[in-house]
Amino acid sequence: MSDFVKLEIGDGIGTIRLQRPPMNALNTQVQEELREAATAAAASDEVRAVIVYGGEKVFAAGADITEFTTTTFQQMTVRARALSGAFDAVARIPKPVVAAITGYALGGGCELALACDWRVVADDAKLGQPEIKLGLIPGAGGTQRLARLIGPARAKDLVFSGRMVDADEALRIGLADRIAPAADVYATAAELVRPYVQGPALALRAAKEAIDGGLGVDLASGLALESHLFAGLFATDDRVEGTTAFVEKRKPGFTGR
């Protein structure tokens, strides 16, 4: 039984809900439960899109620093990959994933948001990577995903300074995709992903794999990956339905097969 992370499924949307008040600090148990929830969301045929949500007050204010004060180098060399892997599990969900951010998304909380495809941010939210103020650097994707998302210069500004950005700046630099009042953040996130619930699941999966996989390789390798995934979709029922519906001038009825 998960204590701090729940996967709730309704109307094709799986909500990965963080529930460790007051700040949803991401301790070791939360990280492992997050991995389990992400794996379950990825495997469930009922889940066609995912929202990562911490509630109306806070998304996640970062790692549980009390665990760091006595952690040795030897211990962290073992745990560091597990920490990063928990967020990788979210990033690898082969479905559209949006972070619904209220309050704070700092440190590990920001890294969790970066593992999602989009970020809907409350108008009073704060985001950042403050690890430098602890004599550390982001250790679960913050130096890598942030630089790929907003560019290396802006990423260095946030990581080197450890400063927080508000919703308006996050939107301006590409860290946020939509802004909404805190009470409407979840609904706005659901509105963003709801069109994909009835979409061609295998094509969406292939599109995400092509984009994410192509970012880590040279252009020629990325184009080869794209061609491979494109050709594979010709074995799907949804490709038949989509092309036939186009020719027949009607709305397609995708089944995810």
pLDDT in tens, 157-181: 999 999 999 999 999 999 999 999 9
pLDDT at 68: 79
Q: Are residues 34 and 62 in the same domain?
A: yes
Q: What is the CATH number of the domain that holds 158?
A: 3.90.226.10
Domain check: are 221 and 109 in the same one?
Answer: no
In a domain, 257, yes or no: no
| Domain match, 51 and 162 both | yes
> Residue 214: what residue type?
G
37 neighbors 1 (Cβ within 8 angstroms): no
Write out the residue range of the structural domain in which residue 157 sits: 5-197
252, part of any domain: no
Contact of 55 with 100, CB cutoff 8 Å: no
Residue 46 falls in the annotated catalytic set: no
Q: Which of 131, 169, 191, 248 is catalytic?
A: 131
Given the residues 8, 33, 67, 111, select the one marked as catalytic.
Answer: 111
253 part of a folded domain: no
| Token pair listed for 210 | 């092509």
Residues of the chain with pLDDT under 50: none
State whether 93 and 214 are in the same domain: no
For residue 149, is it within any domain?
A: yes
Measured from the Cβ of residue 191, the count of other Cβ atoms closer than 10 Å reads 14
Verify that 53 and 25 share a domain, yes or no.
yes
Q: Are residues 37 and 69 in the same domain?
A: yes
Residues 206-217 pLDDT 10s: 999 999 999 999
Is 255 within a domain?
A: no
User: What are the structure tokens assigned to 131, written together?
Assistant: 């690890």
Nearest to 83 by CA among 50, 155, 132, 34: 34
Residues 175 and 127 sit within 8 Å (Cβ to Cβ): yes
- In contact, 132 and 163? CB cutoff 8 Å: no
Task: Look at residues 197, 214, 233 and tell me which one is the last residue of a structural domain.
Answer: 197
Is 131 catalytic? The answer is yes
Looking at 181, 197, 213, the residue that finishes a domain is 197
Domain identity same for 152 and 213: no
Q: How far apart are CA 39 and CA 17, in angstroms?
A: 14
CA–CA distance, 170 with 214 (Å, rounded to integer)? 25
CB 222 within 8 A of CB 213: yes
Taking 3-state DSSP, the helix, strand and coil percentages for the chain, each rounded to the nearest 5, stand at: 55, 15, 30
- DSSP at 177: S
Using the structure block, give the residue that is written with the tokens 């211990």.
Answer: 75
pLDDT for residue 72: 86
Last residue of a domain, one of 197, 222, 237: 197
pLDDT at residue 82, as a whole number: 80
Q: Does residue 73 belong to any structural domain of this protein?
A: yes
Q: Specify whether 124 is located in the same domain as 40.
A: yes
Same-domain pairing of 73 and 148: yes
> What CATH number corresponds to the domain at position 221?
1.10.12.10
* The pLDDT of residue 1: 58
234/150 same-domain check: no
Asked if the structure places residue 220 within a domain, the reply is: yes
Q: How many domains does the chain have?
A: 2
The per-residue pLDDT for 250 is 96
**CA geometry: angle at 74 spanning 68 and 79, to 5°?**
60
Same domain, 147 and 240: no
Residues 93 and 154 in one domain: yes
Q: What predicted TM-score, i.e. pTM, was given to this entire model?
A: 0.94
